[in-house]
């Protein structure tokens, strides 16, 4: 998942902040930082967990739990950003 999320963010110009809850750093995400309470604050209990965070307001929204493909992340991002409103 690390490689997929890294590529997804790079392709879309999204800043990635990777957090490791188990202290292990993926070769795909060498800039990962240790969890300092983010997982608990965001109520993340299943991993990997992917969130969208507004860097100005620090408001966050869950994007994905578990593995998702690049295409699945695209679809899920549209759903989250449009509040799941249909496109018709």
Q: In terms of pTM, does the model score above 0.95?
A: no
Distances in Å between the Cα of 70 and the Cα atoms of 30, 35, 42 are 20, 25, 23
Asked if 62 and 69 touch (Cβ cutoff 8 Å), the reply is: no
Structure tokens belonging to residue 81: 């950003």
Q: What is the pLDDT of residues 4-51, one digit of tens each?
A: 999 999 999 998 989 999 989 989 999 999 999 999 999 998 899 999
Q: What's the domain range around 41? A: 2-81
87 within some domain? no
Domain total in the chain: 1
Asked if 32 and 26 touch (Cβ cutoff 8 Å), the reply is: yes
* C-alpha to C-alpha distance for 77 and 87, rounded to whole angstroms: 14
77 within some domain? yes
86 within some domain? no
Q: What is the pLDDT of residues 60-84, one digit of tens each?
A: 889 999 999 999 999 998 988 887 7
Asked if 26 and 4 touch (Cβ cutoff 8 Å), the reply is: no
Max CA pair span of the chain? 45
């Amino acid at each position: 998942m690390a490689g997929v999320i890294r590529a997804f963010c790079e392709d879309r110009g999204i800043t990635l902040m990777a957090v490791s809850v188990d202290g292990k750093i993926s070769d795909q995400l060498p800039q990962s930082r240790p969890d300092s309470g983010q997982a608990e604050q965001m109520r993340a209990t299943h991993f990997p967990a992917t969130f969208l965070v507004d860097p100005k307001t620090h408001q966050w929204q869950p994007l994905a739990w578990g593995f998702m493909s690049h295409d699945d992340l695209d679809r899920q991002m549209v759903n989250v950003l449009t509040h799941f409103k249909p496109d018709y």
